Amino acid sequence: MALLDSDRYARQIKLPQIGATGQERLAGSTVLIAGAGGLGSLSALYLAAAGVGHLIICDHDHVEISNLNRQLLHAETFLGKPKVVSAADRLGQLNASIRITPAQVRLDHGNIDRFLEGVTLVVDGCDNYQTRQVINRACLRHHLPWVFGGVQGFDGMISSFVPGTTACFECIIPDPATKPGTHSPDNGILGASAGMIASIQAMEAVKLLLDIGTPLANRLIRISGLDMRITTTRLTPNPDCRACSPTQQKIKETQR
């Protein structure tokens, strides 16, 4: 590890759970961040600062003034420009020693696989059920862990999904009409709510990349910001899940 990098990451290298070996492992990791909004922009900042070697940022949208109360990766100078361009510029200023790949695209079932080549882990920065379903199905196919997060108002939720080990996203949120933890442009949100969840997402990502600590596997945490109440729900796989159940997997194999 170069001296400059050793200085940059000195405070986390001191942690026995990370050390120089863990830092090298972070440097060799590739994380896809799906969305450069409130969650994705802040988790991207923390992962870039931590020294994750390659960040792929996927987002189809442009920076708007209404984004800036929570999407702290962006600035007024990038209003009207693609979020991924803004993200690449800001992250490059923060840490020029890592690789940033911006992709101005809306992830869907037809294109996500090409962005997952060489990826170690996915971080969810989406605001809709459909894209999370795309991520869930793709991560199941590629056996990739991913970190889910959702925010609305003063509240948020987070969990980590590890194919073959945990329940999947569609086990716990099977119906698009029930999509808790998401928000639409018409719903209010405090910027700190996104920051709260994005910080935990970045923590979860580092833990999963380094195989340290106890990830939020088969646990869903809900945080109520107004009264600072934290609720943990134990998750179990749904035997009838349309995405990950053995029955569904057999049906898919038969249809190939």
Q: Give pTM, 2 decimals.
A: 0.91
- pLDDT tens for residues 11-22? 999 999 999 999
Q: Max Cα separation, the chain?
A: 55
Give pLDDT, residue 254: 43
- pLDDT tens for residues 20-43? 999 999 999 999 999 999 999 999
Query: Could you tell me which residues come within 8 angstroms of residue 25 by beta carbon, excluding any fewer than 6 positions away?
Result: 209, 210
Question: Within a 10 A sphere around the Cβ of 28, how many other Cβ atoms?
Answer: 12
Nearest partner of 42 among 125, 152, 151, 160, judged by Cα: 125
Give pLDDT, residue 181: 46
Give pLDDT, residue 174: 76
Q: How confident is the model at residue 246 (pLDDT cuts 50, 70, 90)?
A: confident
- Identify the weakest region by mean pLDDT among 26-30, 115-119, 248-252: 248-252
Q: Which domains does the chain have, with CATH numbers?
A: 3-255 (3.40.50.720)
For the segment 137-165, the average pLDDT, to the nearest whole number, is: 97
Question: Within a 10 A sphere around the Cβ of 3, how many other Cβ atoms?
Answer: 7
Q: What own/partner pairs with CB < 8 Å and gap ≥ 24 does 76-85 have?
A: 83/36, 83/37, 83/41, 83/59, 84/36, 84/57, 84/58, 84/59
Residue 3 has pLDDT above 90, yes or no: no
Residue 129 has pLDDT above 80, yes or no: yes
Q: How confident is the model at residue 2 (pLDDT cuts 50, 70, 90)?
A: low
